[in-house]
Structure formats: C-alpha cells, structure tokens
Structure 1
Amino acid sequence: QSMQEAAKKRPIISARERGPGPGRYALPPTVGYINHDFTKSNSPAYSFHSRMSSAMVSVDSSPGPRYHIDAKVTRFGRMETPSFSILGRGRHVLFQTPGPGAYSPEKAPPLNGHHRPPSYTMGSRTRYRSVDAVPAPNSYSLPNLLGCQVPNKPSSASYSFSARRKIGAPSNDLSMSPGPAKYDTTNPDIYHQRQPSFSMQRRTKRPSYSSAIPGPGTYSPEKFHVHLPKPPAFTLGVRHSEFVTPLVVDVVD
C-alpha cells in the first residue's frame, strides 16, 4: 500500500501525454449570439417572454372610438378636389418690370454652340513719322570671319608668331638642351600584358636533428578530398530521447 501511495504522489510527466484531452479546448459556442464563433454564420435568435396574467386578457386597453378621422383621408392619401383662393392686391409694388429697351441681347456671349460674327472697330489715324527711323544699308556692320571671334560661324585653327628668344634658347646655349639621360623610360608592364616574374631565394637549411623530419604517421592519405571529389560520409549518433519534440517541416493548415 505504501508503494501505491508513493506512485500516486509522483508528479505526472507532461512529455508522456500524447495530446490534450477534449476538456483542454475552449472553443466559442455556436449557439446563441453571446460570444458566438465569428467564423460560423449566425442564425436569428429569439427569446420567449413570460406568460401573461389572466387579468391582462380580460382588461381592454384600447382607447375606444374617441378619434375623429376625416372622411376625405383614405389609406392612399387625402382625396379631394383642388381648391384655390384669391388674395388681395398688394399695397406697395416693390419690383418694376423692365421694358424692352433695358435688355442688350447683342452683348450676350455665344451660347449653345452659336456662331458669332467677327466684330471690328474703327481707330484713329496714326501719325506720320517726321524722321525715318529705318537704318540705311551701310549702317550694318558684319563681323569679321577671320579668327575665332565669331560665335555662330565655324573657324579654323589660328596661330600666332612670337619673337625669337635670345636668352636661354637652344640655338644660343647648347647646354640647355636635354640629353639622352634626361628622359625616363616607361616600364612595358604598364601598357603591355604583364609577364610572370620570378625571384631567386637562398637555399634553405636542412634540419640537423632527426626529430624534425616527419614520420609516416604525420601524413593523412585518407584526406584526398582536398583535390578530388569527396564521397558521402555518414556517422552513427545517439538514440534520441522520447521527450524531444519532433521537427515539423511541412505544416498543413
């Protein structure tokens, strides 16, 4: 009996439960209109009133025939003939009707696509010019086409001659002219395809002690995948625990 009580007092491991029971879910109700499931269509809801007392059935709550309805008023509206009344003449006329001369139909703009004829006005005579302001043919001056001073005409190359130099000229002092060593040669690798270049290094020293020479165990011939394609490799892992959550890749809604 003590063993059974100890087994009952042990906590339940939630990982051993494969899934929650029906009581774990709290879905909204589909009956009624209070907290109704919004993903479901809602039908009309009706409520039942309490039973009326027997005294209310026998009591007459109508107002009785105290209303007077005119006979001309029907369910389709008021039925009667049209009636007119004549008012008296007004005491003071507030508005005077304009006559035919008050209108100006010639000033109306063209409406409704009407064609309007052209209108002209007669102006005053212009004054004669006392001095003719038109310039004569010799008043114009065309630009010179020689040189580069014309902005809208193509011009050829123009050169100017300067005076001969007397001081420091090559014709007077030949020592001022540059010699062959004055010019710098350009490396051909700059404007041509660069050729491979090699350098000579000194001879390396061979180790004097034998422990520096690697033995057969130092090499790894199984690592041939450095320069060749590597075949597939597999490893054996440990058994997975039953409490580990499985990996779900494709989730189906």
Structure 2
Amino acid sequence: MGDRAWVGTWRPHHPRGPIMAQFTSPGPKYSIQGTTGYMKHNPTKRKAPAYTFKGAKSLLHEACSPGPCYYVKPSMTRSGKETAPAYTMCGRPKVKTEVTPGPSDYSPEKSKKHVYRTAPAHTMSFRTSSFRVDSSPGPGAYTVPGVMGPNTVDKTASPCYSMKWKSKLGRFDEDLHQTPGPAAYKKVDVDVYKKRAPKYSMGTRTKATGNVINPGPGHYYPGKITLTKPCAPVVTFGIRHSEYTMPLIVDVC
C-alpha cells in the first residue's frame, strides 16, 4: 500500500472481495428477444397488430349469373319494389268493455286534508272497558336461590357424591332361588344341529263334493281294446237298399 502512488485524492488498493469485472461473460449464446413478429416477442416492448397473408381465391365459373331461370318482377327496381299502395280487408276488431269507476265513486271533498293544512281532528268514542284486576305475585311468591348443593345459581358448587345402599350380589344373604333352574331353559330341537327328516301331516278324510256317480268296472270293455294291441280288419254288415227308393226332397221355397 505504501508503494502505490496517489491518483488525485484517491490511492489504489487491493479489493476486499471479488468484483464483477474479474468474471468473464457467458458469451454470445445469450441473445435479446426480438421486437419484430409475434413469435418470441420482447414482452417489454409494444407489439403491433399482426395480419396473415392468404393465397388467392380459386377461379369462379365462366358464367356466375343465375341465368334466365329466375324471373324478376317488373315492379322490382334497383332501389326497391315500386307498386301502388295495397290495403287488406279484415273484420272489425273486438273491443273489450271494462267497468271503470264513474265520477260519483270519488269523494273530492275529502281531499282537503291532503292538499291544504288542517287542524288536528279527533274522534269521540265510547269509554273502553276497565281492565281486570291482575293477581300479581306477592313477596312470598319469590324464593332466594340456595347456596348449598349442586343447583346453585351464583355460587361455585363443590363436587357432590350420592350415597347408595350396598348391593346384595355376592353377599351371604343373597337369594339364589331367584336364578333360573334347568327347567326354565327350552330344549334345543334336534333339527337345528342335525339333518332334518321329512315331516308329514295327518288330516281327516275329505268329503265328496256332491253326488258324483263314477263308472264302475262293469262299464268298461277291456276286450275291445285295439289301441295297444294289433287287430284284424273289422267289416260291418248293413241293410241293402232298393235302387227304386225315392230320395227325400225338401221344399226349400
């Protein structure tokens, strides 16, 4: 420090700590955001409206007019439709009659107290009925809250304990006859813990419904059964009819 010359009123000296000038910069890999375009625009700068450019429209057809298939009325001009005034005829509208108040329903003489200042008006009425004599409670009807016990109002109550008689359970004079005996318990059904057998109910004989005559064994012909056994062809013989017998003609008319 002693060998350093004075520079005006200041003498150079060693820095107490590192300064930013002693460090190198990161180089050109850091760049400032641009101010043109809308991609990665500098947020600190004002951005103007952005417009997009689009390609040209496709070519139209050679004939873009509607053609003679559309008929334009002669009354239609370039400034609108030009026709004479047209009126429509319709029925007379219905008028709904409402019942409104007439002049006699109003009382204009009663409007003075609302428009002009008037003196106070009092009404005369009958004397009201006297009130009943109320039976208010006397001094003896009130009681001063107690200061002893748990139910105190303005005092702090100490813990309260209740005294109970001694239980007879387990004592020498306990009555054991009040306990249930073996006969007080119901016998468990065997079907609860074993496989239950089928049960049948026995009922009385039912009565016949009405006088029904059923066929007996003599009403059947077991010798004529041909449904379950093979049978030979059976031919029946009838009476020969005459060829000259007149048929039965019924007069339809």
Same fold (TM over 0.5): no
Q: TM-score, length-normalised on structure 1?
A: 0.27
**Which structure is richer in relative contact order (CA contacts within 8 A, separation 6 or more)?**
1
Q: Which has the larger radius of gyration?
A: 2
